[in-house]
Chains A and B, each alone.
Chain A
């Protein structure tokens, strides 16, 4: 099981993707769905629905899941904290604030909305990193700066919502995450970013291991702690920010996926990174499929599903106690 975990998740993902392709408001059966790919099904309407709507959405949720999971792996190592993910340093609150601002000023176009989210997310993270680097970069300083930024930005966003009540729906929908608006371009970019992040973390697997030691041990083993830490934070934050700017704030994947794989595979990153990315993709695809089918008409925000799945699992992991927290 341990050795083949990656393949097992991959197979499960493919099966889930196939099932997910057949689910939706227009009924397209399994054989007709497979027919679209083999060329047997020539119905242009069905081809359009499967290839341009459902497949795009499936790949989008999978790619976003891998990015969020890898971001979690990276942040948990850099901050030496099993509860960490990129949202801790303000990626989500920064992005949400950016979007609220864009909607308030009426520049939330198809292009303007993700751009404002990206600027808000990366701006916030860079600000926190700069702040912490002045104080000899202790983890506690980073975390506390992140918490402070999250509070301030949430307050600012609530204020914008309050001043701009008619746009409340739109901001709320975005901030809970959705793949219903995913475009082909976004999917291509998300897949590319996911792949680059995966390769980057695989290249850094020894660095990630050593970051989990105390600072003295890591440094005396030869790790250039500061530069490795900032490089990982910057790249993981940017990848997550991009994902958030496309699909909104989707919580818990960055915590769930690494925790589950660590439970099975142990903490060594060389073994952990690839299966964690796949599991993140699987979990988000699963959540998005549920989001599409749970309501008789319309759909749920996917962020609600990931939280509903994530919280009980998380409590279970904490109570089971293979980790030492704090």
Chain B
């Protein structure tokens, strides 16, 4: 299987916090990838490198075999969509106008159709004429996801997509992401909730203090020893009858 993104010896971070030192990672194509690790371990920052808000001091990032450094921002937008953590929009655009912003990098004649499809996928067609200042947090999250989908890239980055949603909305957004993976998208999501990560992701990366603590297929990587070393918590196994597999639960 080809890789969607390859990070090769990335060094970089912030002026006051040189986060990563020569880290290397591969994100397999068509996988549901969870990015996990303690607060401040560099999960969101890693996403910032992928959409070029942060620039590497050293090292190369390959996106679908193209060198990210040579890719123009608009060209990158046609490969990668991003959904922010707690995305907000304080001006009264309608849902449809917000989704349409996803077409900025590559406007086409059939934009209206693509925007419609993105809204349909995210089940927000009924809200298309509602101002985003009047919809709920879950609906706004779907709107931002639809905006990213409208970019027509095959890679989606999400920074804690469900962390402020109730259980029902968490479930529906995670299902939606799983369906997108089934359609061939590569989803890379920062997830704090290890149960969600185990339930949905097929590949997981644990970051700790700017280094890769563990990476690989979720079923193999998530074990007692890794949780102990990454979070310093003990855990036990429990069989989930609905998923038909064992999940690791932290000891509270």
Chain A residues within CB distance 8 Å of chain B: 80, 82, 136, 206, 209-210, 212-217, 219-224, 262, 266-268, 322-325
The listed residue (A212, A215, A223, A224) touching B91 by CB distance below 8 A is: A212
Q: A115 CB to closest chain B CB, in angstroms? A: 37
Least CB distance from B35 to A in Å reads 15
Given the known inter-chain contacts A216-B82, A267-B91, please indicate yes or no for A222 contacting B77, CB distance below 8 A.
yes
Q: How near does chain A come to B163, taking the closest CB pair, in angstroms?
A: 15
Chain B residue numbers with a CB within 8 Å of A325 are 90
Is the CB of B18 closer than 8 A to any CB of chain A?
no
A222 touching B91, Cβ below 8 Å: no
With A and B bound together, what is the CA distance between A216 and B147 in angstroms? 13
Task: Enumerate 30 A-B pairs (CB-CB under 8 Å) in ascending A order.
Answer: A80-B90, A209-B93, A209-B97, A209-B101, A213-B89, A214-B84, A216-B48, A216-B53, A216-B159, A217-B84, A217-B144, A217-B148, A219-B52, A219-B53, A219-B73, A219-B82, A220-B51, A220-B76, A220-B151, A221-B101, A221-B102, A221-B105, A221-B147, A221-B151, A222-B73, A222-B105, A266-B92, A266-B93, A266-B97, A267-B92
Query: Could you tell me the distance between the alpha carbons of A267 and B48 in the complex, rounded to whole angstroms?
Result: 27
A266 to B98, CA, bound (A): 12
Closest to A263 in B: B92
Q: Are B81 and A262 in contact (CB under 8 A)?
A: no
By beta carbon, the residue of chain A nearest B87 is: A214
- Residue numbers in B under 8 Å from A215 (CB-CB): 53
Given contacts A136-B15, A216-B47, A266-B92, 15 further A-B contacts (CB under 8 A): A206-B104, A212-B89, A216-B84, A217-B82, A217-B144, A220-B80, A220-B151, A220-B157, A222-B77, A222-B78, A222-B151, A223-B104, A262-B91, A266-B94, A323-B90
For B83, the chain A residues whose CB sits under 8 A away are 217
Residues from chain A with a CB closer than 8 A to the CB of B147 are 217, 221
Residues of B whose CB lies within 8 Å of any CB of A are 15, 47-48, 51-53, 73-74, 76-78, 80-84, 87-94, 97, 101-102, 104-106, 131, 133, 144, 147-148, 151, 157, 159
Question: Complex formed: what's the CA distance from A82 to B81 in Å?
Answer: 27
Min distance, Cβ A199 to any Cβ of chain B, angstroms: 20
The answer to whether A219 and B51 have CB atoms under 8 Å apart is yes
Main secondary structure of the interface of B (DSSP, over half): mixed
Name A227's closest neighbour in chain B (CB-CB): B73
B81–A220 CB distance below 8 A: yes
Chain B residues with CB below 8 A from A220, complex form: 51, 76-77, 80-82, 148, 151, 157
- Chain B residue nearest to A212 (CB atoms) is B91
Inter-chain contact A210/B104, CB cutoff 8 Å: yes
A88-B84 Cα distance, complex, nearest whole Å: 28
- Chain B residues closer than 8 Å to A209, beta-carbon distance: 93, 97, 101
Give chain A nearest CB distance to B16 CB in angstroms.
11
Q: How far is the CB of A67 from chain B (nearest CB, A)?
A: 22
CB–CB A323/B151 < 8 A = no
Task: Across the interface, name the chain A residue whose C-beta is closest to B15.
Answer: A136
* Contact (Cβ within 8 A) B77 A221: yes
Chain A residues contacting B80 (CB-CB under 8 Å) are 220
Complex formed: what's the CA distance from A323 to B92 in Å? Answer: 8
Docked-complex contact B81 and A213, CB < 8 angstroms? no
Contacts of B151 in A (CB 8 A): 220-222
Q: Report the bound CA distance from A177 to B97 in whole Å.
A: 38
- Would you call B90 and A82 a contact (CB within 8 A)? yes
Cross-chain contact A214 with B104 (CB below 8 angstroms): no
Given the complex of chains A and B, what is the CA–CA distance between A212 and B91 in angstroms? 7
Residues of A with C-beta under 8 A to B76: 220, 222
CA distance A82 to B91 in the complex (A): 8
In angstroms, how far is the closest chain B Cβ from the Cβ of A263?
8
Complex Cα–Cα for A220 and B73 (A): 7
Cβ-closest 10 pairs across A and B:
A222-B105, A222-B77, A220-B82, A267-B91, A222-B74, A220-B51, A324-B90, A267-B93, A221-B104, A216-B84
B47, B48, B74, B101: which has the most chain A beta carbons within 10 Å?
B101
Neighbouring A residues of B81 by C-beta, 8 Å: 220
- Chain A residue contacts of B91, Cβ below 8 A: 82, 212, 262, 267, 323
